[in-house]
């Protein structure tokens, strides 16, 4: 049985005091869940949020990480810095990083390898653009992202990886992929993992859907066989909605 995940991606939102208030509002309401509860927060609040959630079931992670341990990379944060504050989870390859900050399949791969070297768990984000779906090449695009992302990633490390399938046209737009379309792509990703690794890894790896997940559609998405959870932007910013998502 794969443990479901509800992961909030706060993007460039919230101050530390807003983050603390959010935790105060949710922690009693998410503590008895069987769902893995994660929040990917801005760097400025990573340490305080990590400390503030100590002793709860809420996992705090980073939204990005550089693939070098240190060096002349102004504005970047390294895996050693994350480990320094006990943060052991990061997103890699979010479509906004690919689109606005020149993240490529190659840098995504380097980041995954470096994160794993430092025992940091990764949520790898993949997904196609609208025109790619309209041209019926969405599976080719996602397959290429997956193959490159896992280059040189050994089978024994795959239990540290979660994949999030996020069609770019569904992010922040209010348009959700139909649960059937989302499930179809996620089952395709699972079969690609089987090709790259083996049956066991493809059965065990958790694959999330992301893109306008909200309390009104979460149950339908979660009822699909291959969807193991959600990576949630907008609806993760409001405590009441986040609680509903976790308790779908
Ligand atoms: P959204 O964002 O839920 O606001 O569509 C999802 C994401 O970008 O991870």
State pTM to two decimals.
0.97
pLDDT of residue 89: 98
* Residue (of 2, 6, 60) closest to 243 by Cα position: 6
pLDDT of residue 175: 79
Q: Confirm if 44 and 18 have CB atoms less than 8 A apart.
A: no
Domain ranges (residues) in the chain = 5-246
pLDDT of residue 211: 95
Q: Confirm if 93 and 125 have CB atoms less than 8 A apart.
A: yes
Task: Please say if 118 is a catalytic residue.
Answer: no
Whether 149 lines ligand 1, by a CB cut-off of 6 Å, is: no
Whether 211 lines ligand 1, by a CB cut-off of 6 Å, is: yes
pLDDT of residue 102: 94
Q: Could you give the dihedral angle defined by the CA atoms of residues 67, 64, 7 and 47, in that order, rounded to the nearest 10 degrees?
A: 100
Answer left, alpha or beta for residue 75, where phi above 0 means left and psi between -120 and 50 means alpha. Answer: left
Tell how far the Cα of 213 is from the centroid of ligand 1, in angstroms. Answer: 7
Q: How far apart are CA 28 and CA 165, in angstroms?
A: 29
Whether 127 lines ligand 1, by a CB cut-off of 6 Å, is: no
pLDDT tens over the chain, length 248 residues: 899 999 999 999 999 999 999 999 999 999 999 999 999 999 999 999 999 999 999 999 999 999 999 999 999 999 999 999 999 999 999 999 999 999 999 999 999 999 999 999 999 999 999 999 999 999 999 999 999 999 999 999 999 999 999 999 888 887 778 999 999 999 999 999 999 999 999 999 999 999 999 999 999 999 999 999 999 999 999 999 999 999 99
Task: Please say if 132 is a catalytic residue.
Answer: no
* Residue 18: C-alpha distances to residues 10, 73, 153, 235, 236 (Å): 12, 29, 37, 15, 13
Tell how far the Cα of 71 is from the centroid of ligand 1, in angstroms. Answer: 31
CATH architecture for residues 5-246: Alpha-Beta Barrel (3.20)
């Amino acid at each position: 049985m794969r443990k479901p995940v509800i992961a909030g991606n706060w993007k460039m939102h919230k101050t530390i005091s807003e983050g603390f208030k959010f935790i105060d509002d949710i922690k009693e309401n998410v503590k008895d869940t069987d769902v893995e509860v994660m929040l990917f927060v801005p760097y400025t609040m990573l340490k305080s949020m990590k400390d503030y959630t100590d002793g709860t079931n809420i996992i705090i992670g980073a939204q990005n990480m550089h693939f070098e341990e240190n060096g002349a990379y102004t504005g970047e944060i390294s895996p050693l810095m994350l480990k320094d504050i006990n943060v052991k989870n990061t997103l890699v390859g979010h479509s906004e990083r690919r689109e606005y900050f020149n993240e490529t399949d190659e840098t995504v791969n380097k980041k995954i390898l470096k994160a794993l070297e430092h025992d940091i768990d990764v949520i790898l984000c993949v997904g196609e653009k609208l025109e790619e779906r309209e041209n019926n090449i969405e599976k080719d695009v996602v397959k290429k992202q997956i193959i490159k992302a896992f280059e040189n990633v050994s089978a024994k490390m795959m239990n540290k990886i979660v994949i999030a399938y996020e069609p770019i046209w569904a992010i922040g737009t209010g348009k959700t992929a139909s649960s059937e379309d989302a499930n179809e792509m996620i089952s395709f990703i699972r079969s690609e993992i089987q090709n790259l690794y083996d049956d066991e890894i493809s059965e065990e790896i958790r694959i999330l859907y992301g893109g306008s997940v909200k309390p009104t559609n979460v149950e339908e998405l979660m009822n699909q066989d291959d969807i193991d959870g959600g990576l949630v932007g907008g609806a993760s910013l409001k405590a009441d909605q986040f609680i509903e998502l976790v308790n779908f």
